A and B are shown apart, each in its own frame.
Chain A
Amino acid sequence: MPSLGADMDAGKVAQWLVKPGDRVKRGDIVAVVETEKSTIEVEIFEAGVIEELLVPEGDLVPVGTVLAHIGAPEGTPGPTVDSPSGPVPALRASGPGVPAPASTAVPRHEGGGVVVSPVVRHLAERLGVDVHAIEGSGPGGAITRTDVERAAARPSVARPGPADADRRAAVQPRRPSPPPARSGGPSLTGVRSSPLARRIASELGVDIGDVEGSGPRGAVVEDDVRHAVAPDRSATAPTGREAELQTPKRPVPSAKAPSASGVDERQLAMRKAIGALMARSKREIPHYYLSTTIDMSRAVTWLERANAERPVTARLVAPALLLKATARAVAAVPEMNGFMVDDDFEPSTDVHVGVAVSLRTGGVIAPAIHHADRLSVDELMAALRDLVNRTRQGVLRSSEMSDPTITVTNLGDLGVDAVFGVIYPPQVALVGFGRVAPRPWAADGMVGARPCVTATLSGDHRASDGHRGGRFLATIDQLLQQPEEL
């Protein structure tokens, strides 16, 4: 289970899109995972042949859990597993071809037989917990975040004498064990439905308004949509391979009854996840804040000219230029781009710009546009449009969630002048843009009205200081003065 953002502790395997024997290559989407925030398509990072799926559909498992075994591409047999239903053999966890995005968590077999993901190990180190001294409650005895937090709350394992309040905070799981996410989702003129259900309805040409929901408060869940299409086929969840072939995206087994108020609880869970991450950011990251007002007249004029010649489908919006300028400014001030790893800043050579996308039902997700600095403005615009649309539909890919190196938030459409954001850990900078609007602007001894935007930077003092931050914003400004060069 990859870590799809620093605020994720667990995810539910909603669907497997592959089965044992399937050949996969890097970048293939192998599974759909639901988190509090979104439905995410999990990409695989190795080529090979799927040997075994270890986590059944519908199961909620902690980050770091091994989801599947992959064998070598050319028929080299992998190690066998005697008891497929038993615990995950720890040694297999680091075996060949486990889908492991570079920065994420596949449990690693350590000397003393301890299965612990890098994320959890960092947490343990931070809290002063010896992972060898605690028992893991995860699959295969994997130590979960909650295990570490519980241990940290016990004076015998953790640093002595935490205050009661601290202890409570440490013991408390980051998130109450959430209801199955499948029932979550916004309402559309009274129809409650999960993002997955909406997508499948759209794929199958079903009007979701006509589907009777069996979820909480009548929410339409995936099974309902499938029943609406093929009642007999979906009546029992297919289990055999033939059935899978018939319906490659087979229904999530409905063994777990969603809780009575799943919809609200999912939103609540998302709010809690955001709150926990932002609290961590404010607790750990020494933020500094800068702002500068940028003359956008050249950029706006360039956009108007460009759009006048374009069909609707190829038009650009100002945020595409702002994103491109930000992505390119990183080259001048690399301290803004990368991750804090154990109090050390690790700059990233790639520029994956996270774009904060607000959901109308509440909450925000900031998935990445990969290599934004290398995309043309047109490519970036297409990527932005695609990303925003998929975020709102709740269909994102694992790599988009796990690897933004810097984030941009644009609240200009809401009419605010400026936004001073909270850095998304483990990133070190967040750039905010307010609205592009006419403002009085002094130039050549004259005051005139020009379209302007206020750009802000929230920077991590452990990675940079205000001087470099100022340079970064100035670079964004300079780049926006030559929009044709972006």
Chain B
Amino acid sequence: MTDDDARDIIRTVIGEVAPEADLATVGPDETLQEALDLDSIDFLNFVTGLHERTGLEIPERDYPELSTVEGCVRYLTASVH
């Protein structure tokens, strides 16, 4: 998976989880949950969306790696081949 693929997936899933949120306003190293005002249910929906598109199990202990957009991109590109 390329960086662009990963970004597309992230954008799509955020669009589903928080349609009101604008990912373009979030800096690469800003915390997604804070920047987009996601609560724990939203974040779980986000992880579920990533799982549905990539098949990754994404255990809870990996959640910290998904806190920023760049973190998500790194995680997805490293895990999906």
A: residues with CB less than 8 A from B are: 186-189, 198, 304, 307-308, 311-313, 315, 317-319, 358, 360-361, 384-385, 388-389, 392, 412-413
Contact = CB atoms under 8 A, between A and B. Distances in A.
Across the A-B interface, give the 9 residue pairs with the lowest CB-CB distance, nearest first. Answer: A413-B39, A186-B20, A312-B51, A317-B40, A360-B20, A388-B41, A307-B60, A188-B19, A312-B48
B58 interface: yes
A461 to B, nearest CB: 31
Interface string B20-33: 11101000000001
B8 interface: no
Nearest to A316: B44
Interface residues of B, number: 24
A198 B57 CA distance: 30
B20 A308 contact: no
B41 A385 contact: yes
Give chain A's interface secondary structure class: helix
Given A312-B51, A313-B48, A384 B41 contact: yes
Nearest to A360: B20
B41 A360 contact: no
B41 A312 contact: no
Nearest to A193: B19
Contact of B37 (A188, A304, A360): A360
Contacts of B9: none
B45 interface: yes
B20 A361 contact: yes
A189 B24 contact: yes
B4 to A, nearest CB: 19
Nearest to B58: A312
Interface string B45-71: 101100100000111110000000000
A405 B60 CA distance: 34
| A312, A319, A413, most chain B CB atoms within 10 A | A312
Nearest to B25: A189
A188 B16 CA distance: 11
B80 to A, nearest CB: 15
A304 B19 CA distance: 29
B60 A187 contact: no
Given A312-B47, A312-B48, A312-B58, A413 B20 contact: no
